[in-house]
Chains A and B, each alone.
Chain A
């Protein structure tokens, strides 16, 4: 798997890749991840289950994306692919330059390629046009494409003019166990009410609405800023918890101060991904005002925590949850206020059984399922035949008047570079890596979990990695001596 976006940076693509990789490894595949170097995170690293991560030292430009040096990545990429004996290259995220380059090089080397698109794009802006062209370049020669929702698929097919039959939809998933609603004990300790079935909220109980989002324009924060005072004015017993940071944070704070809502709107600032659940369970309703969303993992997480979801009807959001868990609104101020009011009223009347949401979500979304479906995609492309260079060039040529010729030139140069490398850095001179031992030793596993925890905190002390490495090697020697 190749993408610019990976840990330690937080985000949806990152956790998608991590979860998918670990599930694929559980299913007996070998997965390595190639990403660029982050500060304090370079070289070759191991994560849980022996997911090997190559942090290629490249400089980054815009939003953690590497500088597009079309060919300079090829020698390293070829080296890694040969030493790890890779058969399928799976790129993630359309803004990731590393992913596009890797797919181009992989095709030159005659490997199978899959691309997963995680985002929606417009067609009008200059940035989008450029990205779309680049996407077309990559996708005109990819074996299969995966999108996270049907809307995303439509968008992707249009942007890259693909054959819809080679695009599959595999949604994201959540680790439902990490997003459990409050258990009975926790509720008891919080409020001293009698145990029993959950009671409907009375008309005077406070309903808490949670918003967790990066405070960017495309997440609909302007909408939220306009809607909050109106919702609070019409509903006396409602309060907001807002978590996240971003450029819109100042506007948000100004809104709170202007309307003197400090006691009813609490701003938590940025929260770590493992703290999201703790914030979510404090509320009853989750409000997602996003203007553009390909999938919206966060609303699945919210539903899994037993929150009723109010969200805007944009992008892939309507496909994500069944209608009894959500209240939809058009992405405009009036409708959002109305929808929120409807949701509050429904909760008060006890029509929604939010306590059942967790198990329903658990059945709908699991990473094991995602991994199975991805595996099926891998199986299907492994049987198709490879295309010759001339076929690839024909496809590239059809990409546009000027772009087609440019893409052809890139492909030809890439092929020449490939031949050059075959001569001056032949395969025999590249050592093949040992695979991570399949058999899990309980002691070793403990150590790894420790390491992943410290990974999440950012930065592994070198000593720790070494100790684990030693353990791994010891396993190897044990095996070899046994043999």
Chain B
């Protein structure tokens, strides 16, 4: 019974979040909260690269199949495929051609879109806060797909009125959040909006971030 409960608990638990601090110079610091597991050891690294290449191959295959279907419907399928394949793979080429011809387009296109979607989907989330002393701060959230740039927002020091941690209702629970009060805006800007990390992480970022943003600037 207890093992069952622990298994269920583990299944239901969200991926663990880690905080990475990157400080290239004394006046710049980046806090990144991520659910990506750290790549330690050969196996993890190998798995990561294999996964990436599998995604690339799958995505390319999906695009290719849709292209071929289109070519077939135009009637130039054989010649296009021939250009790809060269002279050698005549038999394989014919078999694939046949398959594409007999499959209905109403199946191929949604299937290809699904495969593309899965290939591009990011399986981790990453949000970061970059603070440049005396200049401002930038929040950044990775998009949920590969190949898309993260959404960022820069707030200059003059516009920042305050940074604070507060609590709010989110779904069925109360969560802590780190927020920036921006001058002239009705709503605060929430840092790490989709991850909403736990209090320990937030407090660390808050404490260090304030130091970097204001106290360093005053000294310099």
Report the nearest B residue to A424, measured CB to CB.
B12
Contact segment of A108-116, A329-337, A426-434: A426-434
CB distance from A69 to the nearest CB of B (A): 12
Q: Which residues of B contact A470 (CB under 8 A)?
A: 162, 164
The answer to the question of B169 belonging to the interface, with a C-beta cut-off of 8 Å to chain A, is yes
The answer to the question of A438 belonging to the interface, with a C-beta cut-off of 8 Å to chain B, is no
Tell me if B164 and A473 are in contact (CB < 8 A).
Answer: yes
Tell me if B8 and A423 are in contact (CB < 8 A).
Answer: yes
- List B174-211 residues whose CB lies under 8 Å from chain A: 174-176, 181, 186, 188, 198-200, 206-207
The answer to the question of B57 belonging to the interface, with a C-beta cut-off of 8 Å to chain A, is no
The answer to the question of B168 belonging to the interface, with a C-beta cut-off of 8 Å to chain A, is yes
CB distance from B160 to the nearest CB of A (A): 12
Tell me if A426 and B9 are in contact (CB < 8 A).
Answer: yes
Contact segment of A73-81, A95-103, A204-212, A305-313: A73-81
The answer to the question of B67 belonging to the interface, with a C-beta cut-off of 8 Å to chain A, is no
Contact segment of A266-274, A282-290, A461-469: A461-469
Tell me if A54 and B174 are in contact (CB < 8 A).
Answer: yes
Please, how many angstroms separate the alpha-carbon atoms of A32 and B13 in the complex?
29
Tell me if B169 and A56 are in contact (CB < 8 A).
Answer: yes
Tell me if B172 and A75 are in contact (CB < 8 A).
Answer: yes
The answer to the question of B173 belonging to the interface, with a C-beta cut-off of 8 Å to chain A, is yes
CB distance from A83 to the nearest CB of B (A): 6
CB distance from B136 to the nearest CB of A (A): 19
The answer to the question of A372 belonging to the interface, with a C-beta cut-off of 8 Å to chain B, is no
The answer to the question of B165 belonging to the interface, with a C-beta cut-off of 8 Å to chain A, is yes
Q: Which residues of B contact A462 (CB under 8 A)?
A: 181, 186, 188
The answer to the question of A425 belonging to the interface, with a C-beta cut-off of 8 Å to chain B, is yes
Tell me if B164 and A425 are in contact (CB < 8 A).
Answer: no
Contacts A79-B173, A466-B181 given; does A423 touch B12 at CB 8 Å: yes
Tell me if A469 and B172 are in contact (CB < 8 A).
Answer: no
Tell me if B172 and A79 are in contact (CB < 8 A).
Answer: yes
Tell me if B198 and A424 are in contact (CB < 8 A).
Answer: no
Tell me if A76 and B9 are in contact (CB < 8 A).
Answer: no
Tell me if B172 and A76 are in contact (CB < 8 A).
Answer: yes
Contacts A470-B162, A473-B165, A477-B207 given; does A423 touch B5 at CB 8 Å: yes
The answer to the question of B95 belonging to the interface, with a C-beta cut-off of 8 Å to chain A, is no
Find B174's partner among A42, A79, A426, A429 (CB 8 Å cutoff): A79
Find A431's partner among B168, B188, B199 (CB 8 Å cutoff): B199
Tell me if A469 and B166 are in contact (CB < 8 A).
Answer: yes
The answer to the question of B104 belonging to the interface, with a C-beta cut-off of 8 Å to chain A, is no
Q: Which residues of B contact A83 (CB under 8 A)?
A: 174
Contacts A424-B8, A463-B181 given; does A430 touch B173 at CB 8 Å: yes
Most buried by A among B173, B198, B207: B173
Tell me if B9 and A466 are in contact (CB < 8 A).
Answer: no
Tell me if B168 and A43 are in contact (CB < 8 A).
Answer: yes
Q: Which residues of A contact B186 (CB under 8 A)?
A: 462
- List A403-443 residues whose CB lies under 8 Å from chain B: 423-426, 429-433
Please, how many angstroms separate the alpha-carbon atoms of A426 and B13 in the complex?
9
Tell me if B8 and A469 are in contact (CB < 8 A).
Answer: no
Please, how many angstroms separate the alpha-carbon atoms of A56 and B173 in the complex?
10
Tell me if B173 and A75 are in contact (CB < 8 A).
Answer: yes
Please, how many angstroms separate the alpha-carbon atoms of A56 and B172 in the complex?
10
Find A467's partner among B162, B167, B168 (CB 8 Å cutoff): B162
CB distance from A422 to the nearest CB of B (A): 8
CB distance from B11 to the nearest CB of A (A): 9
The answer to the question of A11 belonging to the interface, with a C-beta cut-off of 8 Å to chain B, is no
Q: Which residues of B contact A430 (CB under 8 A)?
A: 173
Report the nearest B residue to A43, measured CB to CB.
B168
Contacts A423-B9, A423-B12 given; does A76 touch B174 at CB 8 Å: yes
The answer to the question of A57 belonging to the interface, with a C-beta cut-off of 8 Å to chain B, is yes
Interface residues as binary, B72-102 with A (CB distance below 8 Å gives 1, 0 otherwise): 0000000000000000000000000000000
Q: Which residues of A contact B175 (CB under 8 A)?
A: 431
Find A44's partner among B12, B13, B174 (CB 8 Å cutoff): B174
Report the nearest B residue to A56, measured CB to CB.
B169
Contacts A423-B9, A466-B164, A466-B181 given; does A57 touch B199 at CB 8 Å: no
Q: Which residues of A contact B181 (CB under 8 A)?
A: 462-463, 466
Report the nearest B residue to A37, measured CB to CB.
B169
CB distance from A79 to the nearest CB of B (A): 4
Q: Which residues of A contact B169 (CB under 8 A)?
A: 42-44, 56-57, 76
CB distance from A476 to the nearest CB of B (A): 9
Please, how many angstroms separate the alpha-carbon atoms of A413 and B167 in the complex?
30
Find B173's partner among A76, A426, A463, A467 (CB 8 Å cutoff): A76
Most buried by B among A54, A56, A79, A431: A431
Q: Which residues of A contact B188 (CB under 8 A)?
A: 462, 466
A-B contact pairs, 13 of them (CB 8 A): A43-B167, A75-B172, A75-B173, A76-B172, A76-B174, A79-B172, A424-B9, A431-B199, A432-B199, A463-B161, A467-B162, A470-B162, A477-B207
Please give 7 more A-B residue pairs, beta carbons under 8 A apart, in addition to A83-B174, A463-B181: A43-B167, A44-B168, A80-B174, A431-B176, A466-B162, A466-B188, A473-B206
- Per CB-CB distance, the 10 closest pairs between chain A and chain B, nearest first, are A75-B172, A431-B199, A79-B173, A44-B167, A424-B12, A469-B164, A43-B168, A423-B8, A466-B162, A431-B198
> Which residue numbers of B lie inside 8 Å of A, CB to CB?
5, 8-9, 12-13, 161-162, 164-169, 172-176, 181, 186, 188, 198-200, 206-207
